[in-house]
Amino acid sequence: MSALKNKIISHNIYNFLEVNLLVFFFNYNHISIEEWRIIKSELAKIEKVSTLVVKNQIANTVIKKSKQYSTKDKKESYYIDSKKKEEFEGSDTTQGMQKLSTLFQGPTLLMGITSLEKCNQVFDLTKKHKKLIFVGGIYQEQTINHLDLDYLLKVHKFVYPTLLSNIQYFLHFPVITTPLVFFCHLLEFYQNVKQKEL
């Protein structure tokens, strides 16, 4: 029975890592039932955020397996030469996943976010609760730390407005106006749809 339970738990963790665009790992200690209730109720108010509490040993196994599954095809298809295989196995991606698997040394909370726009809300919430310690995360199969996350949030916040301002600057030139006007309207429509989702 326990083997079946472990398989179900590991399947849930693997699906959690696959479904979410961004996964954060928080270590927590000495959180009372009342504090958990408060944290869960605050997280429930934020859309596109899900949580999962994991067992250390099972989470380590799942992280190592997910690393193997994601890199196995790349090794076989791209790196036929043995020297290049060794370079890939020593690359940042595989080493980062191995390091990440060692982070599960205490009670661990996985927090999955399907939209980058919600990251600021999540981190504002976690800063209020000092017992949640951010230990790392995964974004597009890359391991990230707190510095990577700060950079990612800044870049994401400024890319779209910069793109719009650059396009609007070029709209003053009559030769290329029509395709860019259409593109600008398309981007504005997309922005309105995104704002309605928030």
pTM of the predicted model as reported, rounded to 2 decimal places: 0.60
pLDDT, the chain, mean: 72
Distance linking the first and last C-alpha atoms of the chain: 43
For residue 88, pLDDT beyond 80: no
Cβ count near 185 (within 10 Å): 10
* Helix runs in the chain, H state only: 2-19, 33-44, 56-78, 82-89, 92-101, 119-128, 146-170, 177-197
Closest CA to 111 of 58, 57, 40: 40
Q: Under a CB-based contact definition with an 8 Å cutoff, are residues 152 and 146 in contact?
A: no
Share of the chain above pLDDT 70, in %: 60
pLDDT tens, position by position, 137-149? 888 777 888 888 7
pLDDT value at residue 123: 83
pLDDT (average), residues 110-125? 84
Q: Given pLDDT bands bounded at 50, 70 and 90, which one contains residue 100?
A: low
pLDDT tens, position by position, 56-69? 666 666 666 655 44
Burial letters for 24-62: b for 16+ Cβ neighbours within 10 Å, e otherwise? bbbbbeeeeeeeeeebeebbeeeebbbebebbeebbbbb
pLDDT value at residue 183: 73
Q: Under a CB-based contact definition with an 8 Å cutoff, are residues 111 and 23 in contact?
A: yes
